[in-house]
Amino acid sequence: MPVPVTEAVSPRRLIRDEVFQRLLDAIVDGDLTPGEQLYDAEIEKWVGVSRTPVREALNQLAAMGLVEIMPQKRTRVTPIDPARLRELVATVATLLHGTVRDATPLLTEQDAKTLRSAADAVARAKDGAARANDAFITEALLGVFVRRLDNRSLARLLARHLPEVRRALLAAPSAAAFEKAAPAVAALVDAVDAGDAGRAARAVDDYWNTGLVAVADEFAALERTA
């Protein structure tokens, strides 16, 4: 398990939370790859903590579907399952539909500016389409709409489901799905500028269910040829 090279755990945060965040970021970003085995001793050395917070973090990630723990056998990063991914994309799309619909009337001009800036970055993206779209998801859809709606239950649900989807999107075999979703990004910005909550929500539906769900199809194709 080639663990990332980073600085030691910050004493200003709870150790278990710090370990969890380090592992979560490494899995989502692809530093720890799908199917890769995880060893407690290596993680302990990486983050500079004892076994207990490492186990707590791994159990938390297992509950999120990102780590697979087989007692007395192995612990590994959960492989990407196209069928599960398709279901997760649909789940996130449903959550964001209501979020965008209800938050759009509450958005400020600064919110709209942030959204336009993120959309422009997506439009300009070429080889880095996955990173640009991930930033769009986390900074625009979540950073703008979720924050403005300020619904803690919804935020917890997204925090539970979104990392697994983001991991797959960043590991996508190609940028085809993001290119397919690009028109929905522009449509979302236009709808927000017009203050049309219903149209904004439909654009988010298109972004996920017409565009990004294609990533699951790509992983399914890889499975068939493996």
Pairing of strands 67-70, 74-77: antiparallel
Query: What pLDDT score was predicted for residue 63?
Result: 95
What phi, psi does 31 have (nearest 5°)?
A: -65, -35
Query: What pLDDT score was predicted for residue 169?
Result: 92
Is it the case that residue 184 has pLDDT exceeding 90?
yes
Q: pLDDT category, 125, cuts 50, 70, 90? A: confident
Residue for token pair 């919804």? 154
* Packing angle, helices 152-170 and 214-225, rounded to 10: 40
Whether 123 contacts 185, CB under 8 Å: yes
DSSP H/E element including 76: strand 74-77
Pull the structure tokens for residue 149.
Answer: 């709606």
Is it the case that residue 129 has pLDDT exceeding 90?
no
> Which of 101-105, 178-182, 184-188 has the lowest average pLDDT?
178-182
Taking residues 176-189, what's their average pLDDT?
A: 92
Cα–Cα dist 61/68, whole Å: 8
Cα–Cα dist 66/188, whole Å: 30
Span 39-49, pLDDT tens digits? 999 999 988 88
SS3 (DSSP) at 121: helix
- Residues contacting residue 44 through CB under 8 Å, at least 6 positions apart: 50, 51, 54
Is it the case that residue 74 has pLDDT exceeding 70?
yes
Q: Identify the DSSP state of 106.
A: G
pTM: 0.87
Domains in the chain, start-ordered, CATH in brackets? 15-77 (1.10.10.10), 82-225 (1.20.120.530)
Q: Identify the DSSP state of 5.
A: -
Query: What pLDDT score was predicted for residue 199?
Result: 98
12 versus 109: which is more confidently predicted? 109
Whether 193 contacts 112, CB under 8 Å: yes
Q: pLDDT category, 224, cuts 50, 70, 90? A: confident
Query: What pLDDT score was predicted for residue 27?
Result: 97
Cα–Cα dist 209/159, whole Å: 20
Taking residues 75-86, what's their average pLDDT?
A: 96
